Structure formats: C-alpha cells, structure tokens
Amino acid sequence: MPKKSLVICLFLVLLAIACNKKTDLYKVVGVKDGDTMVLLSPQNLQVTVRLAEIDCPEKSQAFGQAAKQFASDLCFGKMVKLIVNNTDRYGRTVGWIELEDGTSVNKQLIKNGYAWQYRAYSKSMELAMLEQQARQNHLGLWQDENPTPPWNFRKGEREQRTEQKVDKPKKKRTYKKRRRKQRDTVAF
C-alpha cells in the first residue's frame, strides 16, 4: 500500500510540474524584412530568425516593403513562441513563429499574399493551399499580373553583379621608376 501511494504522489507532483511549465516566449524586437525577424530570448540574447518554408519579396522588390510592414504590424513588440527547424548557412535560426494565441506568422504571410511557399524547402499542402487562395483572391503581391519569386529575383541580382565584374576593364598596373637622389652631388 505505501508503495502504491508513493507512486501516485510522485505522479501527481510530476503532473503539476508539467502543467505549470511555461513555454519559453521570445519578444520580437526587430523585423529585418518580411521573413527575417530578431527575437529577444528569455535569457536576453538576440536571435535572428529566418521564417521556415516561406519566402517574402526582397526589400528592393515589389511588395518587399509591404511584406515587412505586414510582418511588423502582426508581431513587432509581441511575445511569440519559436519552433526551431534548423540553422541556415548564414547562422540564422530557421523556424516557425507563433503568437501567444497560436497564430502562425509564417502562415499569415502566405495567407495574406506577402510570401510564397518556399517549395525548395517545403512540401506542406496547407501552405500550398493558402498560397493558392491568396493568388485567386489577388491578395498582396498577387495583385501583380506576374510577380517575380524572390529566389529568381536574387538569382538575377547575382547574375547582374557577375556581369558588372566581367564588364569592368581591369586597370593596368604601372610601375614608376624610382629616382635615386644623388647623395654625392652638391649644388653651388
């Protein structure tokens, strides 16, 4: 009997601890662009987060500033939950951000027409459907007849930079002969 009550007490204690455990919440302290945020961790460390499975227009691209503003209006200054997927080649955390009420920032950007599903990194049918609905309703960037996906925009910018480097003529190095001062010559 004592063994049984000990197990029950231990179970109740563990259950109480599990129920009281709060998920770590982060504060959104910066929105770099539509799909990149800066969060402040509970330990007061800044974490740059690239939103997983979506791709917003670049800031210099059509609807880039609108995507950034939408993301900012949605979550800047708010407490959010971070669900980490991995880290990208730039050292950013890649993940999902949810508001305290469970609203997914990633999904809201697609649903409102401010992002594409990043199909190279996402196979989500839900995101595909949200994007299709935004297209059909001509929301956000889907107001344009033929919007350029950000991955194609970035590729075009890279090619343009490469072409500029190739087109730039190389300067020829010229070497000036150094003149030695004659130490022995004295002018009268």
Backbone phi, then psi, for 28, in 5-degree steps?
A: -80, 115
Look at the chain and count its residues.
188
CA distance 154 to 164: 15
Verify whether residue 131 is a known catalytic residue. Answer: no
154 with 128: CB under 8 angstroms?
no
Q: Classify the phi-psi angles of 140: left when phi > 0, otherwise alpha if psi is within -120 to 50, otherwise beta.
A: left
- 3-state DSSP assignment of residue 141: helix
Verify whether residue 173 is a known catalytic residue. Answer: no
DSSP H helices in the chain: 2-20, 64-75, 105-111, 125-136, 150-167
Sign of CA dihedral 87, 88, 90, 93: negative
Task: List the catalytic residue out of 50, 53, 98, 131.
Answer: 50
Verify whether residue 163 is a known catalytic residue. Answer: no
CA distance 139 to 153: 20
Task: List the catalytic residue out of 53, 89, 92, 180.
Answer: 92
Hey, which residues are catalytic here?
50, 58, 92
